[in-house]
Amino acid sequence: MDEVKVSVICLAYNHEKYIRKSLDSMLQQKTNFKYEIIIHDDCSTDTTRQIIQEYHDEYPGQIKVILQDENQYQKGKPIVEEFMLPLASGKYIAFCECDDYWTDSHKLQLQYDYMESHSNCSLCCHNTIYHCLNKDVPDYNFNSWTDIHIMNEYEVFMQWKVHTSSFFMKKEDGWRDENTIKYWFGDYVRVTSLYLKGDIAVLPQVMSQYNYGVATGVLYNSDISKLETKKKNVLQRKEYLVYLLNKYGKCEDMINRRIKITELEAATLEEQSIIDTTNSKKEKQKAIRSIVRKKEFKEYLSVLRFFDVIKEYVKYGIKYIK
């Protein structure tokens, strides 16, 4: 019981409204093994730092803290790899950012037991509640699987079926390599790269809640709302996918399909913004016509199956043309 088996990776920045519930959910885990919690505060400007210190003082043997005097994310630092993983003592690591929380006190035990008995599993996840803070949107679950589910390539590359707060993996697999550590979409990097190394198993239990809309996250603290910056970020995903394809040589058709979607996203950001924000039917139709005339749209359709092509035409409200 003395040896730490799991290290919980917990990132914090201006999370004073949420961090107590998050940390309490971690501390309430019921396990037959020892686990630790590593908290990184990225120079919060609210009372997050004081709350972290309070918890550390109360649980000095279980909680490790890293309190930054300068914001490391703004410097482009890979926070998990540079500051947190070197402190991790566990065989496994679990993730939960401090604005999210776990909803099941047996979460760590269930994932630990699964990983211990399935050596071919590179990532163990579970179902998560999606909770929108800023809109009157009902909560919903990330997936509807009722049994343990092994993700396929379509679910991995094309969908968002698992959330960071459910990630559980070997510590050695928590490190992104020198070519992928620069990307801001670390979750996507981990899921896709780990899929190419082994199975991604998803337990059916709902064991965490993702709070969408916390105005302190990565996307809220960058210039991603500006079209040029957003385009650059989207194209970074294409760059990553090309690298992944060259490195592993697997899932070629699916990765190429995802690349075409990424190119289309980058080429139609302005039109999509109009579609999402305008109340004018005329402006929406004009934006749709602009999208379907782009070469990126035609190239994207070229990698789809026939019925998927039909779905895209239905999505944009236009007739299918052979």
pLDDT of 47 reads 98
Question: Can you read off the two tokens belonging to residue 270?
Answer: 């302005």
Give CA 67 to chain center in angstroms.
23
Q: What is the mean pLDDT for each group of 10 consecutive residues in the chain (322 residues)?
A: 92 97 98 98 98 98 97 94 97 98 98 98 98 90 98 96 98 94 94 97 98 66 68 94 95 95 94 91 92 91 78 64 42
Tokens of residue 314, six digits? 């239905």
CA distance 35 to 7: 6
Q: With contact defined as beta carbons under 8 Å apart, do 85 and 4 qualify?
A: no
Domain boundaries, the chain: 4-212, 223-315
Q: How many CA atoms lie less than 13 Å away from 231 in the CB half-sphere? A: 13
Task: Compute φ and ψ for 318, nearest 5 degrees.
Answer: -125, 160
Look at residue 322 in the predicted model and tell me its pLDDT.
41
Nearest residue to 92 via CA among 119, 63, 112, 120 = 112
Both structure tokens of 132: 């929108």
Angle subtended at Cα 61 by Cα 58 and Cα 66, rounded to the nearest 5 degrees: 80
Any idea which fold 4-212 has?
A: Spore Coat Polysaccharide Biosynthesis Protein SpsA; Chain A (3.90.550)
187 closest CA partner among 237, 227, 127: 237
pLDDT at 228: 85
Q: How far is CA 228 from CA 219, 233, 265, 267, in A?
A: 14, 9, 12, 11
